[in-house]
Amino acid sequence: MPKIGGPAAIAALLSFNGGFVDTAGFLGLQGLFVAHVTGNFVTLGAALVQGSHGIVGKILALPEFIVVIALARLAGMALRARKLPVLRTLLVVKVALLICFFALAVGFGPFPDPNTPAALLTGFAGIAAMAVQNALQRVHLSALPPTTLMTGSTTQATLDAVDLLTGVEPGQRAAVRTRFGRLSRAILYFAAGCAAAALLYALVGFWCLAVPVIVGAAAAVMRIEE
C-alpha cells in the first residue's frame, strides 16, 4: 500500500480526483470530458450528428488542454531555475483551478446549454485543472501509472494478469507483479472517484465538486521530496 505522504499516496489521490472530476464534468456539462479530453472527439461527432449542444466546448477542449500543459511545463522550468518547489506549486495551482471550477459550476450551473459563456468558462476551469494534473504526473510521478486515463493501464494490467497466471520467467515475475499491483490500484482509485462523483452528483449536483478540492488540497500538503 502507498505510504502516507509518498509519491504513490499522492498519485492515489490524483487518480481518485481524475475519475471524480471527469465524471462530474461529463454529467454537468452535457458530455464534456475535462480530463480525458480526446474522448471529446467521440462526443463531438455524436453532437454534430444528433444536433445536440456542447459543440463549442468540445472543439476548444483539446487546444486549451495543450496550451495549459505547455504553460505548466514553462512554469516548472522557471520554478526549477529559481530553486523553488515545482511539484507542490503545481499541485497548489491545480487546487486553485479546481476551486474555480467548483465556484463557477455552483454559481452558474446547472447548464442546459453548455455553449453559453458561463458553461464554457466553467468547463475551461475544469480542463485547466486536469491539464496541470496530467503535466505534473508525467514529469514528477512518471514511474507511477497515469491518473486520468485508464485505457492503457487496463490493457497492461490485463496482460500482466494473464502472464502471472500462465507463468513468466522467475527473474521477471516480481517486476510484473509489482506493476500489476500499481496498475490495479490506480484503476481502483479512478473507478472509486467515478462512482463517488456519479452518486454525489445525483444527490447534490455541482456541490459534489467540493470533494476533489479537498482531495487535491490533501495531496498538495503531503510531504513531498523534490
Q: Are 28 and 205 in contact (CB under 8 A)?
A: yes
When pLDDT is averaged across residues 201-223 and rounded to a whole number, the result is 94
All three cell numbers of 96, joined, read 486553485
CA distance 29 to 160: 36
Model confidence pLDDT, tens digit, residues 90-102: 999 999 999 999 9
Res 3 pLDDT > 60: no
- What pLDDT, on the 0 to 100 scale, is given for residue 1? 47
d(CA 221, CA 218): 5
Per-residue pLDDT band at 33 (split at 50, 70, 90): confident
For residue range 163-174, what is the model confidence (pLDDT) as tens digits?
A: 898 887 878 888
- Report the mean per-residue pLDDT for the chain: 90
Asked if pLDDT for residue 105 goes beyond 50, the answer is yes
Q: Give mean pLDDT, residues 193-220.
A: 97
Q: Are 145 and 153 in contact (CB under 8 A)?
A: yes
The position carrying cell 463517488 is: 196
Residue 188 Cα distances to 64, 89, 118, 121, 194, angstroms: 28, 27, 33, 31, 10
Quickly tell me which residue has 483539446 as its cell.
62
Q: What is the mean pLDDT of residues 207-225?
A: 90
pTM comes to: 0.90
Residue 208 or residue 172, greater confidence:
208
The per-residue DSSP string of 180-226 comes to HHHHHHHHHHHHHHHHHHHHHHHHHGGGGGHHHHHHHHHHHHS----
Q: Give the pLDDT score at 225.
A: 58
